[in-house]
Structure 1
């Protein structure tokens, strides 16, 4: 730590520390780490000044400079940091300002007197071949990273030096299938652009690339406006990729041009799987989604809340649409990577309506994969959902019965004991899910809130920089992981940490390829009993998690003889 006349102090911290403005960081300083080539590594430099500094400059020097970026950790307000019965593992439970958005450094940053703030340092490591061509690069190299703070006159205030050792192996490609529900309508609403206008397409691409860069490889694809988090009788802005023209009472023509453009854009951005939006309403599959069509030259809604799921009119529509969709999928060569939903979060009380809706789809889509968020094992036993996606606090019965393939998810309901990524939870509780998914062989992860910038039930839009709880409905951090910047997405530290969880899985898969899965598990479970890493029982501190990843990296190096 450096100090200048007791007016400025700095601390080097891991990415798992949340630096609050009103408290000195309690975590121990971290000034070295290890990573693999093609990994994105992050750490922080926290600082506090005893006086206000209007425009402080931050500089970084390192052989890794071409791959390094600096961002300011901003503060977001939270009126609802927790629900009414939080477990003891939360950092805070009071409303206030929480560290979350990562703002690009533009004209310097401000130091507020007496307040702790931090700078987020990201190193997006290149391939092994590129890395070994760097000055000082070799099969395994330690690279210094110097971060310096200067005041308005250019005088040095302080700084830190971090050492990153890069192991002589590349992080392998991600196997886990990962979807974060992508809300195309929220982007159009937030930026004030027309749905699928050229401005909208440009923004969509930027957000999709951000998602892919953070390990999203499956994208929610709105054939019709997704019937998700919508008030009964209400509707979300229309984002419908399928053009529909009704020629007669039950005679339709379909245009797939927008869907074709979407698929091409996604593939170019790195998306491998397509999650076609639900074809029946949420919580029971009782109605058709909103579908608009051109009728007599005018656009109008032809199906929606007024349409019973089993109605003859909707059945005839699907009988015409689905065969054409199948032909499109086959033409695009995405049959193996296409997934379908019936209705989100069904339960036993919805068994009859869900079964009826499922049969309507299976008539044409029997060759495709279906999956569904559900948490009732008894519903799964009915055989209606081949790939269940139980919440991580309801996954144990599915694990005990050896269900495969098996996914998991979490959201607002998973606020006690299990992993989640609310503002008020420690970052270690965000990242631990990577080890949990790997140990238990879970093959997919789903979350509903990549960029949900509405209130609950999509009643009105919100400013995500001011309203972080969907209008008081969900703990801050549940509804979105990116913020709407002027030109595109602004990351959150929660989003960066979740990417680290996915990288932990990939590192373990590399170690497994070298030594086997049992040995890989034994490396990170060192010091723990076998039963001490379930979805509800796990080490809660950042030091253990950082140490586990260090052991994984060292085991990889040893296996490779590095």
Structure 2
């Protein structure tokens, strides 16, 4: 449908004027509650008053999420506060019915990592907002505050228009029920996002499932294991993950003479089939089979391989890449794996096999000092199974394109000249972890949320189609996952180890995970602009991302650019 320029101008004028009545905080004299709308890219720190959002209208495309943050304060103590989303409709009767409401909880981050970010958050209490608890009530003391998160998925077939709604907060004050309402608006543009194009992986850890099981051990392949896996995979997938680490390999089976090995792939198949049923799977990344020989950072990589014991069984040994037993294992295992993957079909009508989505890690983060051993292993894999692609978080200053297909440098090293042009058939992602620090974008709880969202604007600016992070649910390094989320002993900044929080057989998202998801969809918006006007797309991203570690982190400026992107795409509708 074509929309006339006059109608577009009228629509945009209405969007600007309608929210004006909603800019001030709403206080209910009877309840004693004050509800303010704070931009969800603002980290609301305990004891610090944040300015209200300059415009209560949330502007979104179809196929992304509208997110609001409310800060509730009270003149007297209020118990058992509970939120409800009231009707959210356009004047024409279209409605948005699904939403997630949750209270934002604070966590600690004690580790003073260096070099610190120049814009690192300074919390007087040492606490920072992060987990979103979706199944609880909260109480606040007189003069206290609580933050409420509202996350509304916008269906791809939603009617475009201005949706008006409100959130109602109820609670108990001096034993009596009180309520307070806060209005807001959502502008859904006649712009529909395509299927997510950015490739995203967060490494997950099944050995941490005890945190989802009342601290009771969860046995592999048990009903409890698969329930925890389902919760993890569905949560991660809902927030943009589409690349999945695979721990399982072919189980060695000694030959009849006890001198060789064949392989049983049934346990590996079970996990891949599970992922294909429960998640968006663009790639599988098989776990590393080699580690540093004595765990020193520059030590050579040794492979962990099964060696027949001559008595009908085998033992695992860590051996150098040029050991004949390593060479025999690779020469036997990887051709068998390659043909097994080729024999399995993805049931999506595409005609693809599992081999088309399979990638293999060799050993994590090779450096100049130990690259020779990494290349020795990669060369053997490529010789044995030339159709298996190799992916790696890569730290060396040079690479052999014959040995690696998907390079994943750390964000600060992604700036190196060797990554500016990729050979045909290769791609370059980037990753963040406990590094880089300083002014680089990352996912720590002590950084402004906008720096998490901008990770994927960096993907777009520098033509990087993928992002990797090691820590989805690596809970427990410093005890309680809801306590101190840093780990000083490991030099992990707050939040580096996990971006979700455990409940019993469930997961709670975080405000960082939400910012990351929304940045993933920003990437697709920029791709949509590029398809129409590549120069305009670069102008939009350049207004925010100046260099690998220099950005405009003004939330108001970011909202302005996002609005200009949506207006541009609406004009092209």
TM-score relative to the length of structure 1: 0.86
Tell me which residue corresponds to 2:27.
3
For residues 88-120 of structure 1, the C-alpha deviation after alignment (integer angstroms, 9 at most, x for no partner) is 2111277722111010144x3212332222110
Gaps of 5+ in 1: 133-139, 224-240, 456-460
2:453 to 422, 431, 437: 431
1:96 aligns with 2:126: yes
CA spacing shift, 1:489–1:57, aligned 2, 3 Å: closer
Counterpart of 2:463 (choices 441, 449, 454) is 441
Contact 1:17 1:27 in 2 (8 A): no
Alignment-derived partner of residue 469 in structure 1 = 486
Aligned pair partner of 1:23 in 48, 60, 77: 48
Say whether 1:277 aligns with 2:287.
Answer: yes
Q: Distance in 2 between matches of 1:539 and 1:28?
A: 18
8 Å Cα contact 1:462-1:470 kept in structure 2: no
Name 1:379's counterpart in structure 2.
398
Closer, same or farther: CA 160–524 of 1 in aligned 2, 3 Å: farther
Q: CA separation of 1:312/1:525 partners in 2, compared to 1, >3 Å: closer, same or farther?
A: closer
CA distance 1:278–1:398, shift in 2 (3 Å): farther
Deviations, residues 31-57 of structure 1 (Å, cap 9, x unaligned): 102111121221111111132212122
| Residue 210 (structure 1) aligns with | 235
Q: Which runs of 5+ in 2 are unaligned?
A: 1-24, 90-94, 345-352
Q: Is the contact made by 2:79 and 2:140 (CA closer than 8 Å) also made in structure 1?
A: yes
Could you tell me which residue of structure 2 aligns to residue 246 of structure 1?
254
> Structure 2: how far apart are the matches of 1:502 and 1:208?
17
Counterpart secondary structure, 2:407 = strand
Is the CA contact (8 Å cut-off) linking 2:305 and 2:329 kept in structure 1?
Answer: no
Which residue of 561, 565, 571 maps to 1:548? 561
Question: Following the alignment from structure 1 to structure 2, what is the Cα–Cα distance between the partners of residues 337 and 472?
Answer: 37
Partner in structure 1 of residue 372 of structure 2: 352
Q: Which residue of 1 aligns with 2:536?
A: 519
Q: 1:371 to 1:2 in 2, by over 3 A?
A: same
1:325 pairs with 2:337: yes
**What secondary structure, in the 3-state scheme, does the structure 2 residue paired with 1:446 have?**
strand
User: After superposition, what is the alpha-carbon deviation per residue over 1:445-476, rounded to whole angstroms, capped at 9, x for unaligned?
Assistant: 11111111243xxxxx8431224124642011
Cα 1:358–1:389 shift into 2, 3 Å: same
Q: Does 1:77 align with 2:108?
A: yes
Matches of 1:73 and 1:54, distance apart in 2? 16
Q: Greater CA deviation, 441-450 or 178-187? A: 178-187
Q: CA deviation at 1:290?
A: 7.2
Q: 1:124 aligns with which of 130, 153, 163?
A: 153
Say if 1:525 and 1:312 are closer, same or farther in 2 by CA, change over 3 A.
closer
Q: 2: distance between equivalents of 1:546 and 1:429?
A: 14
SS in 1 for 2:67: strand
Q: Deviations over 1:159-192 (max 9, x none)?
A: 3211111111221111221111122222257532
- Of the three residues 499, 506, 517, the one matched with 1:499 is 517
Equivalent of residue 320 in structure 2, options 308, 313, 317: 308
**1:484 matched to which residue of 2?**
502
Cα separation, 2, equivalents of 1:244 and 1:294:
12
Q: 1:322 to 1:551 in 2, by over 3 A?
A: same
8 Å contact from structure 1 (residues 523, 552) kept in 2: yes
In structure 2, relative to structure 1, the CA distance for the partners of 1:123 and 1:253 (3 Å cut) is: same
1:113 aligns with 2:132: no
| More divergent stretch after superposition (497-506 vs 398-407) | 398-407
Q: Deviations over 1:340-382 (max 9, x none)?
A: 1111111111122112111221122222222221234x33268
Question: CA separation of 1:291/1:122 partners in 2, compared to 1, >3 Å: closer, same or farther?
Answer: farther
CA contact (8 A) 2:390 2:403 kept: no
Tell me if structure 2 keeps the 8 A contact 1:179–1:216.
yes
Alpha-carbon displacement from aligned partner over 1:208-244 (angstroms, at most 9, x marks no partner)? 1111111111101013xxxxxxxxxxxxxxxxx5333
Report the Cα offset of residue 151 of structure 1: 2.4
Please give the alpha-carbon distance, in whole angstroms, between the structure 2 residues aligned to 1:311 and 1:399. 32
TM-score by length of 2: 0.84
- Alignment match of 1:193 (pick from 218, 224, 231): 218
> How many equivalent pairs are there?
518
Q: CA RMSD in A?
A: 2.6
User: Cα–Cα, structure 1 residues 311 and 467, in superposed 2: closer, same or farther, change >3 Å?
Assistant: farther
Tell me, yes or no, if the aligned pair for 2:259 and 2:309 is still in contact at 8 Å.
Answer: no
Secondary structure, aligned partner of 1:186: helix
Partners of 1:143 and 1:189 in 2: CA distance: 40
3-state SS of paired residue (1:254): strand
Q: Is 1:175 paired with 2:197?
A: yes
Distance in 2, matches of 1:521 and 1:470, equals 39
